[in-house]
Amino acid sequence: MNIAVIGSGNVGTHLAQLFYRHGHAITQVYSRTVAHARILADTVSAQAVASLTELNIDTDLILIAVSDDAIAEIVVQLPSHSKAIVVHTSGSTPMDILSSFGQYGVIYPPQSLNKKVEADLTQIPFAVEGSSKRVEDRLLAMMTQIASKSFLCSSKQRLALHVAAVFANNFSNALCQMAYDILQQENLDFDLVRPLILETAQKVQNYIPEQVQTGPALRNDRKIIELHLQFLRNHPEQAEIYQQLTDFIVKSRRKT
C-alpha cells in the first residue's frame, strides 16, 4: 500500500517504520511541527509536508496517528471525497468519528510505545475495525501479514481493551513508582523489588492473575494490613490506594 502518515509521535513513528520495513510505501508524513515530520520522513524515504492541504488524499491509506483530542481537528481538515481508507490508531475513540469518509477504520496497537525505544510490533495483537467488510478484510489482511495476532474488534471491544491496558500497564507502572518512592524514603534500592516485578509479569503470561495472587489481602491478614496502613499514615493518597486495592482483593477472594 501507499500510505500517508499524519502524526510523527510515538505511535506514528513506530507504525510508519513498521509498514516501511514490511514493504509498504510511506509517501508522505505530516506533523504540526514540520521538523518532526522531516525526521520521520527521512527514516522511511517519504516526503515531509508542512500542511494537510499538501497531502495526497487519493493514496491507498491515510493513517491518523495523533492524540485522541486532535483526531476530530484532523478529520475536518481532510476532504471527505478522499479515495483512501482513512484510519486512526486510538484505543478509545469510536470509529464513527471518521464517518464523513467513504472508507474508514481503526488500527489500534495495545502497547506502550516510545519512539526512542525499539519495539517488536510483529508480536502485537493489533485491533482492527472497518466501516465495511471489504475495508475490514483489507485492513486485517494487511496487518496479519505483519503481525499475525491481529484481529477484528468492535469499537466497544476496543474501548474495553484500552481500559484493560490502562490497568495492566499505566496503573501498574504508577504502583511501581509508589514502591520506588517508599523504598527511597528508607534509603533502599528499587533493585530489591525488580526481581519480584519480573516474576509477577512472567506469571501472568501463563495464569489468570487471580490464580497467582498472594499477600496479606488474600489472607485477609488484618494485623499486617493495619501495620502497613500505619506505615503509610503520612502518605494519605498511597494509604487510600492501598486500602482500596486491599478491599478489592478481599472481596474477590470471597467470590471464589
pLDDT digits (tens, 9 = 90+) for 104-140: 999 999 999 999 999 999 999 999 999 999 999 999 9
Tell me how far apart the alpha carbons of residues 52 and 20 are, in angstroms, rounded to a whole number. 21
Please name the residues in contact with 12: beta carbons below 8 A apart, sequence gap of 6 or more.
5, 6, 29, 31, 40, 63, 65, 66, 89
Which DSSP helix (H) or strand (E) runs through 230? helix 222-231
pLDDT for 254 equals 73
Select from 27, 136, 22 the least CA-distant residue to 14: 22
Phi, psi (5° rounding) for residue 130?
-140, 155
Q: What does the pLDDT look like over 159-180, one tens digit per residue?
A: 999 999 999 999 999 999 999 9
pLDDT for 253 equals 81
Tell me what the mean pLDDT of segment 205-219 comes to.
95
Q: What does the pLDDT look like over 42-97, one tens digit per residue?
A: 999 999 999 999 999 889 999 999 999 999 999 999 999 989 999 999 999 999 99
Cell 492524540 locates to 67
Please name the residues in contact with 210: beta carbons below 8 A apart, sequence gap of 6 or more.
252, 256
Q: Using alpha carbons only, what angle is made at residue 124 by residues 42 and 9, rounded to the nearest 5 degrees? A: 35
pLDDT exceeds cutoff 70 at 256? no
pLDDT for 192 equals 98
The percent of residues in the chain predicted with pLDDT above 90, rounded, is 96
> Both ends of the chain: CA-CA distance in Å?
50
Domains of the chain, by residue range, sit at: 2-153, 158-255
pLDDT for 58 equals 86
CATH domain 158-255 topology = N-(1-d-carboxylethyl)-l-norvaline Dehydrogenase; domain 2 (1.10.1040)
Report the CATH number of the 2-153 domain.
Answer: 3.40.50.720
Whether 158-255 and 2-153 are alike in CATH topology: the answer is no
pLDDT exceeds cutoff 70 at 245? yes
